[in-house]
Copies of this chain bind each other. A is one copy, B any other.
Amino acid sequence: MSKIPPRAVSSLQDLADIAGVSRATVSRALNNSTLINAETRKRLQALASEHNYTVNKQARDFRLKQTRVISVVFMLDAHSEQHPSDPFFLEMLGGIADGLSLHDYDLLLAHAPVASMRDLANSRIVRNAEGVIFVGQGEEHQALNKLADAGTPIVVWGGSVADKRYLLVGGDNAGGGFSATSHLIAQGRRRIAFFGNTRTPENQARFSGYEKALAQANLQPDEKLTVDIPSDMQHAQVVIENLLNKRIDMDAVVCTSDVMAIAAIAALTESGFSVPDDIAVVGYDDIPIASFSSPPLTTIRQSIHQAGSVLVESVLALINGHQVADTTLSSKLVVRKSCGA
């Protein structure tokens, strides 16, 4: 009968005492060092698992000056102190979490993110992690540049900016904005609005794609049709309803997210417009719920989950000192009924 270990084995030394060797030997054995005799190694590993011992990662990481943690910061609207209810974020988070687990890294989630970009460099978020993934740039482009300059390994999901000095992963925003708009034009729409905050690089690029499509069709852009809509659904609806009260002439809307599109459809319907008969709507992201809205949402699909793993690979490469280039993931138009197709 095997005896139950009398007291918990909680350190290398404990195990070394039991085995009658030094703790250096145990450490090497458990790390599969070839310095240690193969038999000794096996014996000690067996002993360790028999006593249900695993190395104390906290001590290990401290000694090795590593954390095996990556922080994730969601850059929300500086204005809306709201929490994101956009499923986009959750999908992205899932992708990142999966990517990290592949490499045995943990995920530290930043709370109250944008509150204090100033002292972010000294926060636990940055100091406790080997690298940081930012989802979105918000309007904090310069703060991100500064952080990258300071040598912190960071990767940002977002859109390109002229003087960017950090590693970037993003969708083809210009392409997405272009194909959304072109498709509406091809459907015969002429007065096409653009809904979204164009101060973020991502939306800027989408807007440029929108403008390009208009130009290509010889349509005059009308600045009354470019509207800054908050990303929070409740607020979005109010703003859109105010807009509709102004009776601005339009027959289509390009939105910068699916949830915004869904809010828009609700507001339009509420105001007596028919979607897509009176006004066509295109969203962005292709979140799972998009195909279930009524009418089903035409949208630009981003492979969000894949984006997560690209972000992870990029930040880890950075940490390991490898050369890494920006990545642009393809964006693809998914046609459903909300655009009149």
Residues of A within 8 A of B (CB): 52, 54, 57-59, 61-62, 67, 83-87, 89-91, 93-95, 97-98, 100-101, 106-109, 111-112, 122, 124, 127-128, 233-234, 237, 259, 262-263, 265-266, 269, 287-289, 291-294, 296, 305
Residues of B within 8 A of A67 (CB): 58
Q: List 13 A-B contacts (CB under 8 A).
A: A52-B122, A62-B62, A83-B95, A85-B91, A85-B288, A90-B90, A101-B111, A106-B108, A107-B108, A259-B288, A262-B289, A266-B291, A269-B294
- Given A85-B289, A90-B90, A266-B296, 9 extra CB contacts under 8 A: A58-B61, A58-B67, A83-B95, A83-B305, A85-B91, A106-B108, A106-B109, A233-B289, A263-B292
CA distance A234 to B288 in the complex (A): 8
Per assembly, the copies of the chain total 2
Asked whether, in the complex, the Cβ of A93 is within 8 Å of the Cβ of B107, the reply is no
**Which residues of chain B have C-beta atoms less than 8 A from A91's C-beta?**
83, 85
Given contacts A94-B83, A101-B111, A288-B234, contact A58 B54 (CB under 8 A): no
- Contact between A288 and B90 (Cβ–Cβ < 8 Å)? no
A106–B124 contact, CB under 8 A? yes
Give the residues in chain B near A305, CB-CB below 8 Å.
Answer: 83
A84 lies within 8 A of B89 (CB): no
The answer to whether B84 touches A90 (Cβ under 8 A) is yes
- A238 CB to closest chain B CB, in angstroms? 13
Task: Find out whether the CB atom of A112 lies under 8 angstroms from the CB atom of B101.
Answer: yes
Q: How far, in Å, is A64 (CB) from chain B's closest CB?
A: 11
